[in-house]
Amino acid sequence: MTFIVRQIAVTADGREIIRANPYADESIVIGRSAENAIHLPDLAVNPQHAEFVRRDHDHIIIKSLSGQGFALDGQQRQEITIVPAWGGVVGLGG
Instruction: Calculate mean pLDDT across residues 69-91.
Output: 90
CA–CA dist 28, 36 (Å, integer): 7
pLDDT of residue 50: 96
pLDDT of residue 45: 94
pLDDT of residue 1: 66
| Maximum separation of any 2 CA atoms in the chain, in Å | 41
pLDDT of residue 23: 87
The b/e string for 44-74 (b: 16+ C-beta within 10 A; e otherwise) is: ebbebbbbbebeeeeebebbbebebebeeee
pLDDT band at 65 (very low <50, low <70, confident <90, very high): very high
pLDDT of residue 6: 82
pLDDT tens-digit readout, 6-62: 878 899 999 999 999 898 888 999 999 999 988 889 999 999 999 999 988 789 999
